Each structure stands twice: as C-alpha cells, then as structure tokens.
Amino acid sequence: MAQKWKSVKQIRDEYFDTGTISPVSMAQLKEYLKGEDENELCRAISLVTDASLMHLVPLMAQHLDHEDSYVRESLIGKLLGILCLPEYAEKGLDMIEHDEEPGVRDLALSNIGAVINEIKDKELKKKIAQKLIDILYSETEDHLTRSASYVSILKDLEVPAIKRPDIDLIIGKDYPIDEEKIEKFKKRYL
C-alpha cells in the first residue's frame, strides 16, 4: 500500500506529537529539501532547524545560492544564528559582501557574530571582524545594516539578547555604541 504524501506541517506535527519522524516522513522531508516548492522548502528548513536534524543540514545548505532571497535569508540566519555552525561563516561573509538583497546581507551580518569565535581559520576570523567594524562605523551604510553589525559584535561578546539594541534603532543616535565593548572585540580579533 502506497504511503500518503504529507505536507511539511504534517511532518512537523508528527515530530512534535511523537518526538520522532518516521522513516517514510523523513524520506518525504528530504524530498521537500530538494526545493521544488519554495514555501515547503522554507517550512522544511525550519523543521530541520527546530528539530536539530543535523544530518539534513547539508541538504539545506545546498540552497544558500537559491534565486529566492527569502530562502537565502532564512537559511543563513538559521545556519549561523540558530544552529551556530561556523563552517558556514565564510559563506555568510560572502553574502554580507556580495548579496544584492539587503535582507540577506543584514541577516548574515547580524548572525555571523554567533560563530566567529568558533572559526578555526584565524585569517577568516580577522576578515570578518574587520568587516563588522568597518560596517559599524561606515557613513554610507544605512542604520539597519550598521545595527546588524553592532548586534553581531555583541553576540560574539556574549551580551544577552535582552541587553542588545533593537535592530531598527539608529546606532549612535537612539542607541550609543559601547566603545569599551568594541575595543574588547578588536583586541580579540584584530
């Protein structure tokens, strides 16, 4: 008898109701991660992240260059900010420097601080740290991008989320830069 095809929501419900995903549902989840339906792909990425299904991360990561900016944005945020996987830091830096969509850039930027200390390559650490500092003090970047950089630096310094500024505050005007924290960050990496 053929198995009924489930939506990602049904697979998610199965996981949260039973604490596990059946082999049939897991095979279907892998199909969703191939990305033919962008809405289901995003739901599948969220489920993999929420359930910490680390063996499926490589299937997720294949979409880091997806044509849909929402997929890229969601994915880099989850890989760096939630799963805290330093092996995606170099791709995060590439997105910060080259992605044409501000949302993708800013999400990579605001989350790369969660992994910088775990990066093995000292030159990559230094390059990321310098990029964060350059953006924070840039006069050409918009306030959201500068705020994303500051939040990332504070994540690296393990400042609790409740003590970090809201991303939409204007750094330097609505929310002052804590220069002591910036110096601590610079000493660590630069």
Q: What pLDDT, in 10s, does the model give residues 34-51? A: 988 899 999 999 999 999
Domain check: are 128 and 55 in the same one?
no
Asked if 109 and 186 sit in the same domain, the reply is yes
Mean pLDDT of all residues in 125-132:
98
Residue 79 forms part of a structural domain: no
Instruction: Assess whether 112 and 184 both reside in one domain.
Output: yes
Cut 0.75: pTM above it:
yes
Q: Is the pLDDT of residue 3 over 80?
A: no
Residue 122 located in a structural domain: yes
Indicate whether 70 belongs to any domain.
no
d(CA 95, CA 153): 17
| pLDDT, mean of residues 71-77 | 96
The number of distinct structural domains making up the chain is: 2
* CB-based burial label for 102 (10 Å; 0-12, 13-18, 19+): middle
> What is the percent of the chain where pLDDT is above 90?
85
For 55, the domain range is 1-63
Phi and psi torsions of 175, nearest 5°: -140, 115
Do 35 and 110 lie in one domain? The reply is: no
Residues 55 and 20 in one domain: yes
Per-residue confidence at 143, pLDDT binned at 50, 70, 90? confident
Q: Residues 122, 189: one domain?
A: yes
Kindly indicate the confidence band of residue 176, based on its pLDDT and cuts at 50, 70 and 90: confident
How would you class 140 by CB atoms within 10 Å of its CB: exposed for 0-12, middle for 13-18, buried for 19 or more? exposed
Q: Are 9 and 46 part of one and the same domain? A: yes
Residue 1 has pLDDT above 60, yes or no: no
Q: What SS3 class is residue 175?
A: strand
Same domain assignment for residues 123 and 166: yes
Average pLDDT in the chain: 93
187 and 117 in a common domain: yes
Is the domain of 96 the same as that of 56?
Answer: no
